[in-house]
Amino acid sequence: MSQSANVTSVEAVKDLRQAMVKFCETVEAGLCANEMESRRMYYWLTSEQPNHWAHELRERQEELVQAQTDLHRLKLQRAQGMTVDDIQQKKMVERAKARVEEAEEKLEKVQHWSRVVQRAIDEYESHARALSDLVEGNPPQSIVFLDRVIASLDAYMELTAPQHRETPATASTSPAAPATDAAKPT
Protein backbone atom coordinates (compact mmCIF):
# COMPACT_ATOMS: atom_id res chain seq x y z
CA MET A 1 0.00 0.00 0.00
CA SER A 2 1.59 3.26 -1.08
CA GLN A 3 1.38 6.39 0.98
CA SER A 4 1.33 9.87 -0.42
CA ALA A 5 2.00 13.27 1.09
CA ASN A 6 0.73 16.65 0.11
CA VAL A 7 3.98 18.60 0.27
CA THR A 8 3.43 22.19 -0.78
CA SER A 9 6.94 23.46 -0.04
CA VAL A 10 10.26 21.66 -0.10
CA GLU A 11 11.72 24.73 1.61
CA ALA A 12 9.43 24.08 4.60
CA VAL A 13 10.87 20.56 4.91
CA LYS A 14 14.39 22.00 4.69
CA ASP A 15 13.49 24.53 7.42
CA LEU A 16 12.14 21.65 9.51
CA ARG A 17 15.45 19.85 9.06
CA GLN A 18 17.39 22.89 10.29
CA ALA A 19 15.07 23.25 13.28
CA MET A 20 15.46 19.53 14.00
CA VAL A 21 19.27 19.87 13.95
CA LYS A 22 19.07 22.68 16.51
CA PHE A 23 16.57 20.69 18.57
CA CYS A 24 18.84 17.63 18.60
CA GLU A 25 21.81 19.73 19.70
CA THR A 26 19.77 21.37 22.48
CA VAL A 27 18.40 18.04 23.70
CA GLU A 28 21.87 16.46 23.69
CA ALA A 29 23.26 19.37 25.72
CA GLY A 30 20.34 19.16 28.16
CA LEU A 31 20.71 15.41 28.60
CA CYS A 32 24.44 15.83 29.22
CA ALA A 33 23.84 18.61 31.77
CA ASN A 34 21.18 16.53 33.56
CA GLU A 35 23.48 13.52 33.71
CA MET A 36 26.32 15.59 35.16
CA GLU A 37 24.03 17.23 37.71
CA SER A 38 22.50 13.92 38.78
CA ARG A 39 25.98 12.42 39.21
CA ARG A 40 27.07 15.44 41.26
CA MET A 41 23.95 15.21 43.44
CA TYR A 42 24.33 11.47 43.91
CA TYR A 43 28.00 11.85 44.86
CA TRP A 44 27.12 14.61 47.34
CA LEU A 45 24.38 12.46 48.84
CA THR A 46 26.28 9.18 48.97
CA SER A 47 29.81 10.38 49.78
CA GLU A 48 29.97 13.89 51.16
CA GLN A 49 26.87 13.89 53.35
CA PRO A 50 27.45 10.50 55.03
CA ASN A 51 31.04 11.54 55.77
CA HIS A 52 29.87 14.89 57.11
CA TRP A 53 27.18 13.43 59.37
CA ALA A 54 29.39 10.55 60.56
CA HIS A 55 32.00 13.14 61.54
CA GLU A 56 29.33 15.31 63.18
CA LEU A 57 28.00 12.28 65.09
CA ARG A 58 31.48 11.46 66.45
CA GLU A 59 32.06 15.07 67.53
CA ARG A 60 28.62 15.35 69.12
CA GLN A 61 29.08 12.05 70.95
CA GLU A 62 32.38 13.39 72.31
CA GLU A 63 30.57 16.58 73.41
CA LEU A 64 27.94 14.45 75.15
CA VAL A 65 30.60 12.41 76.93
CA GLN A 66 32.31 15.62 78.02
CA ALA A 67 29.03 17.12 79.26
CA GLN A 68 28.19 13.92 81.16
CA THR A 69 31.69 13.86 82.66
CA ASP A 70 31.33 17.47 83.80
CA LEU A 71 27.92 16.70 85.33
CA HIS A 72 29.34 13.65 87.12
CA ARG A 73 32.20 15.80 88.48
CA LEU A 74 29.65 18.29 89.84
CA LYS A 75 27.72 15.47 91.51
CA LEU A 76 30.94 14.25 93.13
CA GLN A 77 31.57 17.76 94.43
CA ARG A 78 28.06 17.82 95.91
CA ALA A 79 28.68 14.42 97.50
CA GLN A 80 31.76 15.90 99.18
CA GLY A 81 29.55 18.52 100.81
CA MET A 82 30.07 21.39 98.41
CA THR A 83 27.13 23.44 97.28
CA VAL A 84 27.08 23.34 93.49
CA ASP A 85 24.48 24.30 90.95
CA ASP A 86 24.25 21.53 88.36
CA ILE A 87 21.14 22.82 86.54
CA GLN A 88 23.19 24.45 83.80
CA GLN A 89 25.27 21.30 83.34
CA LYS A 90 22.11 19.13 83.14
CA LYS A 91 20.81 21.44 80.38
CA MET A 92 24.11 21.05 78.54
CA VAL A 93 23.80 17.24 78.75
CA GLU A 94 20.26 17.40 77.37
CA ARG A 95 21.35 19.68 74.51
CA ALA A 96 24.26 17.35 73.72
CA LYS A 97 21.89 14.33 73.68
CA ALA A 98 19.55 16.20 71.31
CA ARG A 99 22.46 17.07 69.02
CA VAL A 100 23.59 13.42 68.96
CA GLU A 101 20.04 12.32 68.11
CA GLU A 102 19.86 14.94 65.35
CA ALA A 103 23.12 13.68 63.81
CA GLU A 104 21.88 10.06 63.98
CA GLU A 105 18.61 11.07 62.29
CA LYS A 106 20.45 13.02 59.59
CA LEU A 107 22.70 10.03 58.91
CA GLU A 108 19.65 7.76 58.57
CA LYS A 109 17.91 10.26 56.30
CA VAL A 110 20.98 10.54 54.08
CA GLN A 111 21.05 6.76 53.70
CA HIS A 112 17.31 6.67 52.96
CA TRP A 113 17.45 9.49 50.41
CA SER A 114 20.50 7.95 48.76
CA ARG A 115 18.39 4.90 47.89
CA VAL A 116 15.43 7.04 46.77
CA VAL A 117 17.62 9.25 44.59
CA GLN A 118 19.35 6.23 43.04
CA ARG A 119 15.96 4.77 42.03
CA ALA A 120 14.88 8.15 40.62
CA ILE A 121 18.12 8.50 38.65
CA ASP A 122 17.74 4.97 37.27
CA GLU A 123 14.16 5.71 36.19
CA TYR A 124 15.15 9.03 34.61
CA GLU A 125 18.08 7.45 32.77
CA SER A 126 15.88 4.78 31.21
CA HIS A 127 13.62 7.47 29.75
CA ALA A 128 16.56 9.71 28.84
CA ARG A 129 18.21 6.85 26.93
CA ALA A 130 15.14 6.53 24.71
CA LEU A 131 15.25 10.25 23.92
CA SER A 132 19.00 10.12 23.49
CA ASP A 133 18.68 7.36 20.90
CA LEU A 134 16.47 9.66 18.83
CA VAL A 135 18.72 12.71 18.89
CA GLU A 136 22.24 11.29 19.03
CA GLY A 137 24.36 10.06 16.20
CA ASN A 138 26.40 11.72 13.55
CA PRO A 139 23.96 12.69 12.09
CA PRO A 140 20.95 11.62 14.17
CA GLN A 141 18.52 9.18 12.57
CA SER A 142 15.78 11.82 12.40
CA ILE A 143 18.07 14.08 10.36
CA VAL A 144 19.03 11.18 8.08
CA PHE A 145 15.34 10.52 7.49
CA LEU A 146 14.66 14.18 6.64
CA ASP A 147 17.67 14.21 4.29
CA ARG A 148 16.19 11.24 2.42
CA VAL A 149 12.79 12.97 2.23
CA ILE A 150 14.38 16.16 0.88
CA ALA A 151 16.44 14.21 -1.68
CA SER A 152 13.32 12.34 -2.82
CA LEU A 153 11.35 15.56 -3.15
CA ASP A 154 14.17 17.25 -5.06
CA ALA A 155 14.39 14.27 -7.42
CA TYR A 156 10.64 14.31 -7.91
CA MET A 157 10.66 18.04 -8.66
CA GLU A 158 13.28 17.48 -11.37
CA LEU A 159 11.08 15.04 -13.22
CA THR A 160 9.21 16.44 -16.22
CA ALA A 161 5.78 15.35 -17.23
CA PRO A 162 5.76 13.13 -20.35
CA GLN A 163 4.91 15.07 -23.54
CA HIS A 164 2.07 13.74 -25.71
CA ARG A 165 3.23 13.79 -29.35
CA GLU A 166 1.12 12.81 -32.28
CA THR A 167 2.51 10.00 -34.38
CA PRO A 168 1.30 9.13 -37.88
CA ALA A 169 -0.67 6.18 -36.55
CA THR A 170 -2.59 8.34 -34.08
CA ALA A 171 -3.17 11.10 -36.61
CA SER A 172 -5.09 8.89 -39.06
CA THR A 173 -7.42 7.57 -36.42
CA SER A 174 -8.11 10.81 -34.69
CA PRO A 175 -11.76 11.85 -34.69
CA ALA A 176 -10.96 15.25 -36.15
CA ALA A 177 -9.49 13.75 -39.32
CA PRO A 178 -11.82 13.88 -42.34
CA ALA A 179 -13.28 10.63 -43.42
CA THR A 180 -12.19 9.57 -46.87
CA ASP A 181 -13.86 6.48 -48.31
CA ALA A 182 -16.30 5.78 -45.54
CA ALA A 183 -17.92 9.19 -45.73
CA LYS A 184 -18.61 9.17 -49.51
CA PRO A 185 -22.14 8.35 -50.63
CA THR A 186 -22.53 5.39 -52.89
Average pLDDT over residues 28-46: 94
> For residues 156 and 171, which has the higher predicted lDDT (pLDDT)?
156
Please tell me the pTM assigned to this model: 0.62
The residue type found at 8 is T
How wide is the angle at C-alpha 167 spanned by C-alphas 165 and 168, nearest 5°?
A: 155
**Is 50 within a domain?**
yes
**Is 171 within a domain?**
no
**Is 113 within a domain?**
yes
> What's the CA gap between 78 and 120, in Å, rounded?
58
Domain, as residue range, for 110 = 30-134
Task: Please give the full DSSP string across 130-185, using - where no structure is assigned.
Answer: HHHHHH-BTTBHHHHHHHHHHHHHHHHHH--PPP----HHHHHT-TTSPPSSTTS-
Query: Over the stretch 159-168, which tens digit does the pLDDT of each residue have?
Result: 866 676 666 5
CA dihedral 116, 120, 123, 128 (to 10 degrees): -160
Which pLDDT band holds residue 79 (cuts at 50, 70, 90)? confident
Average pLDDT over residues 99-108: 97
Is the pLDDT confidence value at 134 over 90?
Answer: no
**Is 68 within a domain?**
yes
Tell me whether residue 85 is exposed, middle or buried, using C-beta atoms within 10 angstroms of its C-beta: 0 to 12, 13 to 18, 19 or more.
Answer: exposed
Q: How many domains does the chain have?
A: 1
**Is 126 within a domain?**
yes
Measured in whole angstroms, the distance separating CA 42 from the mean position of its chain's CA atoms is 15
**Is 164 within a domain?**
no
Please count the other Cβ atoms lying within 10 Å of the Cβ belonging to residue 19: 10
**Is 13 within a domain?**
no
Bridge partners (DSSP) of residue 137 are: 140
**Is 67 within a domain?**
yes
**Dmax over Cα atoms in the chain, in whole Å?**
163
Which run of H or E residues covers position 64? helix 49-79
> What's the CA gap between 21 and 150, in Å, rounded?
14
CB 140 within 8 A of CB 23: no
